[in-house]
Structure 1
């Protein structure tokens, strides 16, 4: 039984990663993206970082939690060379999203207004991304070495 069409595979015979996977990596590396944007805007870069991350500790935690997504971007090109590492990386990304959610819960507990929209919107996106990483049949197949190759 064929789960995917021939168009779902690239020229190497690997199952193509879905667009939502790339969006999840960008979501996880959002602090890095903001840091790059702030660096490009030299005059208002510090103000931009201060707007989104008034607490520097949260900024550094966001940078640290974005590292697995950056490594995941690099690993996409080495799926065939390092299949064991690639398979495990799905779980690393899931744990990172879970840590992001816990950080948001802790951060909202530190704020006086527990229903702060600016904190809960990224947490909602993290939760949806986590569920998608866990439940998507196509993404599971992309991380599974046996299902990833054309037969």
Structure 2
């Protein structure tokens, strides 16, 4: 690794795809904040993306780990054990999200919407990156710290 790959605390810098995956996994929270900011159109926005209220609450629940990891990312050097557990917590959340999307696509009576298919494909790509990226895995590994 290049010395520029490390931050001032001796930890690997997080790749851009990590942040993209966090945004993707916390999309319900982002939508909720946007709906709250636009009070007039907020309810319509939530109804358009989440016509089923149960799916909204599943999204809020599954978005908690990415939001917490986002908040912890700036202070990961202070809580390395919690940071290491965050990798597995986000991985489990991605599996559950992808499984729920697959189940929803399989059970849809009519043809699934393009948005559902695109989100499922994006989640599959995020899950594949999370599992296959050695650089991302090294960012959660305490042994990869500089002395």
The reply to whether TM is greater than 0.5 is yes
What does residue 71 of structure 1 align with?
68
Residues 1:27 and 2:24 aligned together? yes
Counterpart of 2:91 in structure 1 is 94
CA separation of 1:97 and 1:114: change in aligned 2, threshold 3 A: farther
| In 2: Cα distance, 1:130 partner to 1:67 partner | 17
Corresponding residue for 1:51? 48
State yes or no: 1:106 paired with 2:139: no
Q: For the residues of structure 1 that align with 2:111 and 2:140, how far apart are their CA atoms?
A: 37
Alignment gaps of 5+ in structure 1: none
2:5 to 3, 8, 11: 8
Number of the residue aligned with 1:150: 146
TM-score of the pair, normalised by structure 2: 0.93
* Match in the other structure for 2:124: 127
Q: Indicate the SS of the match to 2:58.
A: helix
Structure 1 residue 40, shift from structure 2 partner: 1.0
Contact 2:9 2:77 in 1 (8 A): no
Cα distance per residue 1:6-25 (max 9 Å; x no partner): 11111222111111101100
